[in-house]
A and B are shown apart, each in its own frame.
Chain A
Amino acid sequence: MKSRMESSGLDSRIDYYPTHEHQGIRFRRGRTLPFGATVVPNGVNFSVFSSAATSCTLVLFRKHEPQPVAEIEFPREFRVGDVYSMIVFDLDYEDLEYGFRFAGPWDERVGHRFDASKIVCDPYARVVGGRDQWLTKPDWDNIYQHRARLAFDDFDWEDDRPLEVPINDLVIYELHTRGFTANPSSKVSAPGTYAGILEKIPYLKRLGVNCVELMPIFEFDEWENSRQHPQTGQLLVNYWGYSTLGFFAPKAGYAATGRFGMQGDEVKNLIKELHRAGIEVILDVVLNHTAEGDHRGPTISFRGIDNKNYYILTPEGYYYNFSGCGNTLNCNHPVVRNMVLDCLRYWAADYHVDGFRFDLASILGRDQNGAPLANPPLLESLALDPVLHKCKLIAEAWDAGGLYQVGSFPAYNRWGEWNGKYRDAVRKFLKGEAGQVGEIATRIQGSPDLYYYRGPTASINFITCHDGFTLRDLFSYNDKHNEANGENNNDGANDNNSWNCGAEGETSDEAVNRLRLQQMKNAFCLLMLSRGVPMILMGDEFGQTQHGNNNSYCQDNELSWLNWGLEQSSGELLRFVRMMIGFRRSNPVLRVPSFYQGRDYVGSGKPDISFHGTQLWSPDFSAGSRCIAFLLCGRHAEGQQRDIYVAVNMYWDGLPYQIPAAPQGERWKVAINTSMRGPDDILETSEAPSIDQQEVIVGPRSIMVLVSAPRA
C-alpha cells in the first residue's frame, strides 16, 4: 500500500485529495461523522464504529457481482477512538456496493462474536441491495447477502413538508404496503408496491382518512424463517416484516422500481403525493430487535460489528429475548441510542415522515441489563429532540417480556400509546359482556384514568390492527383458526374477546350476517364517537376477512391481501364507514384535545358531557347493564353547532330510551341508527328524519345518534 501519492492533477481541496492507494483504489483519512457512507467532493466518506474490533476492512463490490473488487483495511492511523473512517476516490456511485469485515475476539461469555470471514452490512446503510424484487429466490451461496449501497439526495420535493396535522384531528389507517394492492382485484398497475398505494390515494381521500400508518418498510428479508407448510406445502414467508436489517433503508422489494435501485425515490414520491392529498404518513418502526435472531441466527450486521453493545445480553453472553424474536436491541446504550436518534431524524428530514409508531416500545425503556428504567434516556431524547419535535410518537406500550405500560409509558408529555385497554373494553362491550358499561364510559372519553396528565390525544383508540382478527372476523369467529400458519394453531392470541354472532365462520344465515354487519357498524360508530385518536385497519371498512386467522404474519397470499371486490359487494358498510369518519370530522366536539369535565363551564345550562341510561340522568353502571347514553353539549366545543345524544344498547332486545329536550329552537334528528339498513343507517343531518317524542326505541345491539338542528 503506497502513501503520499504523486499529484494526479485533481483540481480539489487538499483535504479531499487521496494520500493512499490499494488495489488501484485511492483513499485518504476520512471524517468520523456522519456515520455511514456519505458522498463528499471527489469521493465517498465511509465511517463505522466498533468498540472491540481489532481491525476493520472496507469491502467494495460492483453491483450484483459475487466477489469484491477490492478490500481495503483501515490503516491504524485512520481510527479515532472506536470509529473507523476513510474517504475513497474513483468510485462509480451508481454501481457500488460495500460492506465491512471486522476482526476481533470470539468470546461468547463476554459478548464478542467477531468473525472476519463474514462481510457485514453498514448499520447506517441508506440503501440495501440483495432483495431488490420481492420473493425472488436469492443465490444462497452469495457471500454477502444484504449489501449496503449509496443513497442520493436529489429528489425534487418542491414545496412539500410534513403536514403537522393536529393529532386530535387524525383518523389513522394502518396498512401493509404489499397487502394493500397485491391482489389483482386492486387493478393497480404496480400491485403490492409503494406505487400501488399511490394509485389508491383517491380511494383513501374518499374514505376520509388523513393519515396512513405503514407497517414496517425498513429493509427486511422476506425469506427469513421461510418454510413450507407441513401439510399443504404452501410457502410461508416473513410477510409482515417485523424484523429489521437496515434501519435507514426502505424495503426494495416493496418498490416497483426496486430492480433499478430507486426505492428511495418511490417512497419519497408516495409521501409527497400523500401529503398533497392531505394525508400524513406514520411509519411503524421496529427498533426493539434485529433480523439477526439469537445465537443461532445469521450475522448480517450488528452481531459482527459490536455484538456486546448492540444487544442486551445475559451474564452468560446469550441474548435476552424481550421481543419474542430472538434478540433485544440495547436501546439505552449511549451508542445505540444515538443510532436510533440518527435513524428517526433521517426519516423525518429526508423522507418528510410525519410520525412513528414504535413496535414493542417498552423495550426502548429497558436498561442495558433489561430492567425497566424510570427515566429512559432514549425515550426522553426522542420526546425532546428538535428534529423530531413535530413528529407524532406512538408507542405500542408493551413488550414480549411481560412489561405492560399502557397508561404508564414514560411519556414526557409527547408519547401517545396504542390503547389496548380501549380495544379490549370495546370488544367486550360489543359482545354483550356484563360489567363493561363503567369502563366504556371512561374509554369513550379518551381514557382519563390512564392519561389524566396528558389529555385524550395520548390515547390511540383502536379495535383492530394487524395483530389479531380483522373486524369482520371479530364478529365471525369465537376462536382463532391459524392452521394455515403451520404451527398447529398454537400461534396467535387466544384472548380475542370475539363473538361469532351465532355461527362459526362463513354462513348463509341471513340473520347472523345482518348482525355481523350491524356489529361492524357499531364498532366504527363507537370508535369515531370517542375522544382520542382513532385508528382503523385496512380493509375493515369493507369487511375484509382472513377466515379466522388472527396472526397472518407469514401469509403472502389472498388471505392477507385486500380483496378489492369487497369495495362493491360491501357497499353498505363502506358507505357507513365513510360517513362515520365524515361525522367525526364535522363534529369538533368529538375531537377536542382535552378531557370532558362533566360540568357546565360555558353557561349553556348543560354539562359538556352527561351520562344517562334508558332513563335520563340515571346511568346504569351495574354489572348487569349493557346500556349507556351520553349527551354532548355543542357549546362546549369551538366550531360545534349542535348537541349530540348517543344511545348505546348492547342488550339483545330493543329498549326504550328517554331523550333529553332538544336545545331551544331546535329539534332532534336521527343521524345514525345502526339497526337500520343502509342508506337509512347514517344520513346527513339535512336528510335525517326528525323526532319530537320524548322516548325512542333503540334496537337490540345497536347505537342511535341524534343531533340537534334548527327547526325549519
Chain B
Amino acid sequence: MPLEMSSSTEGNTARLSLGGELDGSSAPSFRDAVDKLLQGRPERLVLAVEKLTFMASAGLRILIFAKQKQPTLKIYLLKPQETVVDTLKKTGFYQSVYVVDRDEDING
C-alpha cells in the first residue's frame, strides 16, 4: 500500500499525517517532508500514524536523524499501531520519541 502524507504547521508544532506503508521506497519522500517541516525549526513534530500499517527501518532512521540534527525537537507518534511500537521498543528507538494516544497528551 503506498504511503500517503499530509503536513501542516501550527505555531511551534509541525504535524505530518501518514497512512499506508513507510518502506524503503517511500522513505525518501518521507525524509523530504520531514526536512521541509524542520526548516521552520518547530519545537514539536507530531506524526499522526494511526493509519500507518508499517514503518521500515528507513523511516525510523529518519526520525533519529531529525532528533540528532535538532536535539531539542520533541517527536510524538500519535496512535501508532502495535507493530510499530514493538519495533521501536526492541531496537531502542522508543526512547527517542514520545508515544501518545491522544492529541491532548502532546504538550511542551
Binding site for B on A (CB under 8 A): 63, 92, 94-95, 152, 154-156, 158, 189-190, 193-195, 198, 255-257, 260-262, 265-266, 268-269, 272-273
Contact = CB atoms under 8 A, between A and B. Distances in A.
Given A155-B92, A262-B57, 4 more contacts: A154-B68, A190-B90, A260-B57, A268-B92
Interface residues of B, number: 21
Contacts of B60: 262
Contact of A262 (B25, B91, B95): B91
Contacts, number: 60
Contacts of A273: 92
A94 B64 contact: no
Nearest to A193: B90
Given A256-B90, A262-B57, A156 B67 contact: yes
Contacts of A255: 90
B16 to A, nearest CB: 20
A61 to B, nearest CB: 14
* The 7 A-B residue pairs with the shortest CB-CB distance in the complex, in nearest-first order: A269-B92, A265-B91, A195-B90, A94-B24, A94-B58, A95-B24, A262-B57
Chain B interface mostly helix, strand, loop or mixed? helix
A92 B95 contact: no
A87 to B, nearest CB: 21
21 contacts: A63-B24, A92-B24, A94-B27, A94-B56, A95-B24, A152-B61, A155-B64, A156-B68, A156-B92, A156-B93, A189-B86, A190-B90, A194-B90, A256-B86, A257-B57, A257-B87, A260-B87, A262-B91, A265-B92, A265-B93, A266-B91
B96 interface: yes
Nearest to A194: B90
B90 A266 contact: yes
Contacts of A155: 64, 92
Nearest to A260: B57
Interface string B42-69: 0000000000000011101100110110
User: Which of A154, A189, A190 counts the most B-chain CB atoms under 10 A from its CB?
Assistant: A154
User: Which of A193, A194, A256 counts the most B-chain CB atoms under 10 A from its CB?
Assistant: A256
Contacts of B92: 155-156, 265-266, 268-269, 272-273
A63 B95 CA distance: 29
Contacts of B87: 257, 260, 262
A238 B89 CA distance: 29
A98 to B, nearest CB: 16
A193 B58 CA distance: 22
A156 B56 contact: no
A269 B24 contact: no
A198 B95 CA distance: 15
A261 B90 CA distance: 12
Contacts of A158: 95
B96 A260 contact: no
Contacts of B27: 94
A265 B86 CA distance: 13
A272 B95 CA distance: 12
B90 A94 contact: no
